[in-house]
Amino acid sequence: SLHLAKWELRQDDIKILLQGAFEELELVGCEVSDSAAQTLADALRTNSHLKRLTLDDNNITDKGLDFLLKSLVMLKVFFCFSS
């Protein structure tokens, strides 16, 4: 498990994080944007370890949420999100 709060994560940071074998990833208040959400969604398609993803208090709009949901539904990952 990896729990980060209030870190300013860039797209490259997210790619690196998803190379790990985490079953739970919590990125709360990490300024994740729609473009970073798309990067996250793309990286999730090749990550078989992640079972839970929490993205509370970030900068994700409906566009970013759509990217994420398409990947997460395929992988059966439990997803927590609040705006």
The first and second tokens of residue 63, run together, are 């566009």
Spatial CB neighbours of 33, under 8 Å, sequence gap ≥ 6: 58, 59, 60, 64
- Per-residue pLDDT, averaged over 12-23, amounts to 85
pLDDT of 29 > 80? The answer is yes
pLDDT tens digits, residue range 33-81?
Answer: 999 999 989 888 887 788 888 999 999 999 999 999 888 777 766 666 6
Write down the pTM of the prediction: 0.80
Spatial CB neighbours of 19, under 8 Å, sequence gap ≥ 6: none
Question: Which is higher by pLDDT, 19 or 76?
Answer: 19
The first and second tokens of residue 35, run together, are 């473009």
Which residue blocks in 6-81 are alpha helix, DSSP H? Answer: 11-17, 34-44, 62-75
